[in-house]
Amino acid sequence: MQCETITGRHNALMTHLRKLASSRAYREKSGEYLCDGVKLLEEAVKWQAPIQTAVFSDGVEIPELPEGVRLVRVSGELMKSVSPMETPQGALFTVALPKRELPQTLCGRHYLVLDGVQDPGNVGTVLRTADAFECDGVFLVNACADAYSPKTNRAAMGALFRRAVYSCTLGELLALLQRSGVPLYGAALRGDTETLGGIDLTCAAVAIGSEGRGLSGEVLDACEKTLRIPMSARCESLNAAVAASVVLWEMYRR
């Protein structure tokens, strides 16, 4: 494999990587997103993600990669200057953003909706859990964290290479659910709230809100039913990613 060496901090590729790490608009414009770590790279290769460029620190072994991937060597210091991690893992790589439009109809049975969940670690953890429990798709509405930021995809641990995730407006989502005959339920308290274990989740989309405010009014109004997760009376709520995990498990076992 032919490998080039870059030594300058202001090299065009190094500048490109920094912008990919910091700007959602730049990621969307360039059609790429940035990932870090050898383990995540192995997952990308295993699941045939469209890897574009791979950058390795001196001394890090370069694994077998698909043909056409640009290979680059840099010093440890240069890697620190471009890596989004405080402690770089020795490898950075870019992957082409999927050109993922909403389908005309949904063919699966279980879907999750994140409503305004802005913490990238929470969003990434939800994506990882959705992958583990065979969720058929995750929808991000109302200014959720970008699924393709470095922090999110690090927490997702390769789920982005395997599972469908969509960013869309609430109107687009509701139209899709209606066309597909998939009811929308919300994790929230309302007059019609049922216990999670007692609600039919054979085919459903469940919405989870942010920790600070819960579901937005517009999402709550669109929910056919609401559900609650049984817990100790002394606890008000769960972390959004934990709540989503409980719901995903309940859907999975149905």
**Quick check: 13 pLDDT over 80?**
yes
- pTM exceeds cut of 0.85: yes
What are 22-57's pLDDT values in tens digits? 999 999 999 999 999 999 999 999 999 999 999 999
Q: What is the pLDDT of residue 248?
A: 96
Distance CA 101, CA 214 (A): 27
Instruction: Write out pLDDT tens, residues 207-247.
Output: 999 877 889 999 999 999 999 988 787 877 788 999 999 99
Amino acid, res. 110: H
In the predicted model, is pLDDT for residue 254 greater than 80? Answer: no
Q: How far is CA 242 from CA 106, 129, 156, 186, 250, in A?
A: 26, 9, 14, 15, 13
69 three-class SS:
coil
pLDDT in tens, 167-223: 999 999 999 999 999 999 999 888 788 888 889 999 999 999 987 788 999 999 999
Distances (CA, A) of 105 to 4, 61, 83, 102, 111: 46, 44, 39, 8, 13
Query: Helix 240-252 and helix 120-132: axis angle, to 10°?
Result: 10
Residue 212 CB neighbour total at 10 angstroms:
11
